[in-house]
């Protein structure tokens, strides 16, 4: 069974509840992010994906997460400032979440998608089709600029 995130409710950076279905018709790349991780440099690549594919229908959605090595201890405003000044990242960031243990949205739903299971580390990526169905999952070591991820995004946008 395909997992669909359209009805998942998350909190945006202002604390307001938002349904992921608000992005229906766009391809989503949902990423649990952290500012003090070995993969933090991926912020730049994620912003490049947003800049490159955003006009074609991609939305990169970042969910700060402090579950792995306490690598995202800051407040949301500190995180936003860091992302903007250090990496020029201005893709959409949401309120902090839990991607493991007692998971919070959207990870309580995303981790049911095949291959099911907990998020292993920061910067794990979930690719979501225009209809809200989860179509792929990429581990932290898959770089945003990898040919594998770019091809999957292009295919999802074209679908």
Residues with catalytic roles: 37
Contacts of 93 (CB under 8 A, 6+ apart): 13, 33, 62, 63, 64, 76, 79, 80, 83
Please tell me whether residue 46 adopts helix, strand or coil conformation: helix
CB-CB contact of 92 with 11 (8 Å)? no
Report the DSSP pairing between strands 27-33 and 17-19. unpaired
Residue 48 near residue 145, CB atoms below 8 Å? yes
List phi, psi (to 5°) of 153.
Answer: -65, -45
Q: Outline where 18-138 has alpha helix (H).
A: 42-53, 76-87, 107-110
CA dihedral 113, 110, 80, 92 (to 10 degrees): 80
């Amino acid at each position: 069974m395909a997992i669909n995130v359209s009805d998942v409710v998350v909190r945006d950076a202002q604390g307001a509840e938002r349904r992921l279905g608000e992005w229906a018709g766009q391809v989503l790349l949902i990423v649990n992010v952290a500012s003090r991780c070995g993969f933090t440099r991926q912020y730049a690549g994620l912003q490049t994906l947003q800049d490159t594919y955003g006009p074609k229908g991609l939305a990169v959605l970042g969910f700060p997460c402090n579950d792995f090595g306490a690598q995202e201890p800051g407040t949301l405003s500190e995180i936003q400032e860091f992302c903007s000044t250090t990496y020029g990242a201005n893709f959409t960031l949401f309120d902090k979440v839990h991607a493991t243990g007692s998971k919070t949205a959207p990870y309580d739903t995303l981790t049911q998608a095949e291959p099911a299971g907990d998020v292993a580390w920061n910067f794990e990526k979930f690719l979501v089709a225009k209809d809200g169905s989860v179509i792929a999952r990429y581990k932290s070591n898959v770089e945003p600029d990898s040919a594998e991820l770019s091809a999957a995004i292009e295919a999802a946008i074209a679908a």
